[in-house]
Chains A and B, each alone.
Chain A
Amino acid sequence: MRLIEARKLIPAYFLIVLFIAKRLHFMQFNVYEMKDLIYLCFLYTGIADMGFNLIHVTDFFLYQCILIVFLGGFYRDDILSNQELLFTRAKKRKGLFQKGTIKLVLNTSILYVLLYGTSAMVLCYKNKTKTFDVMYFLYAMLFLVTYILLINVMTMLVDVKLFLVILLTVEVFIDNFIGIALGDKFFGVFQYLKNGMASNLPYALAPIVVAFILLNMIGIKIMKTREVV
Chain B
Amino acid sequence: METIIRFEEYTKILKKTEILKDISLEMKSGKLYKLKGTNGSGKTMLLRAIAGLIYPTTGAIYVNDVEIKKNCTYPASLGVLIENPSFWREYTGLEVLRYLASIKNNITDEDIKASMEKMGLSPDDKRKIGKYSLGMKQKLGIIQAIMEKPDILLLDEPLNALDSETIRLFQKVITEERERGAVVVIALHNDGEFEMDYDEVIKIENGKVVEHEK
On A, residues with C-beta under 8 Å from B are 22-23, 25, 29-30, 78, 81-94, 226-229
Query: Are A30 and B102 neighbours in the complex by a CB distance under 8 Å?
Result: yes
Complex alpha-carbon distance, A94 and B51, angstroms: 16
Residues of A within 8 A of B55 (CB): 227
Q: Are A88 and B80 in contact (CB under 8 A)?
A: yes
A90 lies within 8 A of B74 (CB): yes
A84 pairs with B86, CB closer than 8 A: no
Inside 8 A of B85's CB, which chain A residues have their CB?
81-82, 84-85
A82 touches B86 (CB 8 A): yes
The CA-CA distance from A81 to B87 in the complex, in Å, is: 8
Contact with A along B79-106 (1 / 0, CB 8 A): 0101101111010000000011011100
A88-B102 contact, Cβ under 8 Å, with A81-B86, A229-B45:
no
What separation, in Å, do the CA atoms of A78 and B82 have in the docked complex? Answer: 16
Interface residues of B in 43-102 (CB under 8 A from A): 44-45, 48, 51-55, 71-75, 78, 80, 82-83, 85-88, 90, 99-100, 102
Closest 6 A-B residue pairs measured CB to CB?
Answer: A81-B86, A89-B103, A84-B82, A88-B80, A227-B54, A88-B78
Please give the distance in Å from A191's CB to the nearest CB on chain B: 42
Point out which of B48, B55, B99 has the most chain A C-beta atoms below 10 A from its C-beta. B99
Q: B86 and A93: CB pair below 8 A?
A: no
Pick the residue among A22, A93, A229 that contacts B74 (CB under 8 A): A93
Q: SS class of chain B's interface: helix, strand, loop or mixed?
A: loop
Among residues of B, the one whose C-beta sits closest to the C-beta of A89 is: B103
**How many residues from B make CB contacts under 8 Å with A?**
30
Please give me the residue from chain A that is nearest to B101 by CB atom.
A89
Docked CA distance A227–B69 (Å): 12
Partner of A88, one of B15, B45, B53, B72: B53
CB–CB A84/B74 < 8 A: no
B14 within 8 Å of A by Cβ? yes
Residues of B within 8 A of A81 (CB): 85-86
Q: Is B51 touching A229 in the complex (CB atoms < 8 A)?
A: no
Complex Cα spacing A78 to B52, Å: 20
Which residue of chain A has the shortest Cβ distance to B83 in the bound complex?
Answer: A84
Give bound CA distance, A229 to B77, whole Å. 23
Most chain A C-beta atoms within 10 Å of own C-beta, residue among B44, B51, B103: B103
In the complex, are the beta carbons of A227 and B53 less than 8 A apart? yes
Compute how far the CA of A94 lies from the CA of B70 in the bound complex, rounded to whole angstroms: 10
Nearest A-chain residue to B103, judged by Cβ: A89
In the complex, the answer to whether B80 meets A228 with C-beta atoms within 8 Å is no
Set of chain A residues within 8 Å of B11, measured between Cβ atoms: none
B115-161 interface (Cβ within 8 A of A): 144
**CA of A226 to CA of B51, assembled, Å:** 13
Q: Which of B15, B45, B90, B103 is the one whose CB lies under 8 Å from A23?
A: B90
CB pair A228 B74 closer than 8 Å: no
- CB-CB under 8 A from B73, the residues of chain A are 91-93
**B14-A229 in contact (CB<8A):** yes
| Contact B100 A84, beta carbon cutoff 8 Å | no
In the bound complex, how far is the Cα of B52 from the Cα of A88, in angstroms?
A: 8
Beyond the given A87-B53, A91-B104, please list 5 additional residue pairs across the A-B interface where CB-CB is below 8 A. A22-B90, A82-B85, A84-B83, A88-B53, A89-B100
| Cβ contacts under 8 Å, B53 to chain A | 83-84, 87-88, 226-227
Give 26 CB contacts A-B under 8 Å.
Answer: A25-B88, A30-B99, A82-B87, A84-B53, A84-B80, A84-B85, A85-B80, A85-B144, A88-B51, A88-B74, A88-B75, A88-B78, A89-B100, A89-B104, A90-B74, A90-B103, A92-B73, A93-B52, A93-B71, A93-B72, A227-B14, A227-B53, A228-B15, A229-B14, A229-B48, A229-B54
| Among A83, A85, A87, A229, residue most surrounded by chain B Cβ atoms (within 10 Å) | A85
